[in-house]
Amino acid sequence: MDDLLNTGLLPQQTTLFTVWLLGASLGLTACTATCLPFMGTWILGRGGSQRQVLLDTALFVGGRILAYTLLGALAAGAGAWLAQVMRGGTGNFIIGAASVAAGLWLLRPGKAHAPCDAVRNAGGTPPLLLGFSLSLTPCAPLASLLAVCATAGSIRLGMASGAAFGVGAALTPLLVLLPLIGLLGKNLRENREWLTRWIRWGAAAVLILLGLRRIFLVI
Answer yes or no: are the C-beta atoms of 56 and 48 closer than 8 Å. Answer: yes
**C-alpha–C-alpha distance, residues 91 and 210, integer Å:** 14
Q: What is the pLDDT of residues 47-64, one digit of tens each?
A: 888 899 999 999 999 999
In sequence order, what are the residues at sequence separation of 6 or more whose Cβ sits closer than 8 angstroms to the Cβ of residue 44?
Answer: 181, 182, 184, 185, 199, 203
**C-alpha–C-alpha distance, residues 203 and 142, integer Å:** 29
**C-alpha–C-alpha distance, residues 160 and 166, integer Å:** 10
pLDDT(167) > 70: yes
pLDDT value at position 82? Answer: 64
Task: Please choose, from the candidates 62, 57, 95, the residue with its C-alpha nearest in 3D space to the C-alpha of residue 177.
Answer: 57
Q: What is the pLDDT of residues 124-157, one digit of tens each?
A: 789 999 999 999 887 888 888 888 888 877 889 9
- pTM for the structure as a whole: 0.82
Answer yes or no: are the C-beta atoms of 62 and 206 closer than 8 Å. Answer: no
> From the centroid of its chain, how far is CA 22?
17
Q: What is the arithmetic mean of pLDDT over 178-200?
A: 86
**C-alpha–C-alpha distance, residues 57 and 118, integer Å:** 13
Answer yes or no: are the C-beta atoms of 108 and 192 closer than 8 Å. Answer: no
Answer yes or no: are the C-beta atoms of 200 and 110 closer than 8 Å. Answer: no
Task: Please choose, from the candidates 28, 31, 147, 29, the residue with its C-alpha nearest in 3D space to the C-alpha of residue 86.
Answer: 147
pLDDT(45) > 80: yes
Q: What is the pLDDT of residues 85-121, one digit of tens each?
A: 666 677 788 888 999 999 999 988 754 444 444 434 4
The domain limits of the chain are 2-218
H-helix or E-strand spanning residue 51: helix 50-78
Answer yes or no: are the C-beta atoms of 126 and 207 closer than 8 Å. Answer: no
Which of 38-42, 148-152, 179-183, 206-210 has the least mean pLDDT? Answer: 148-152
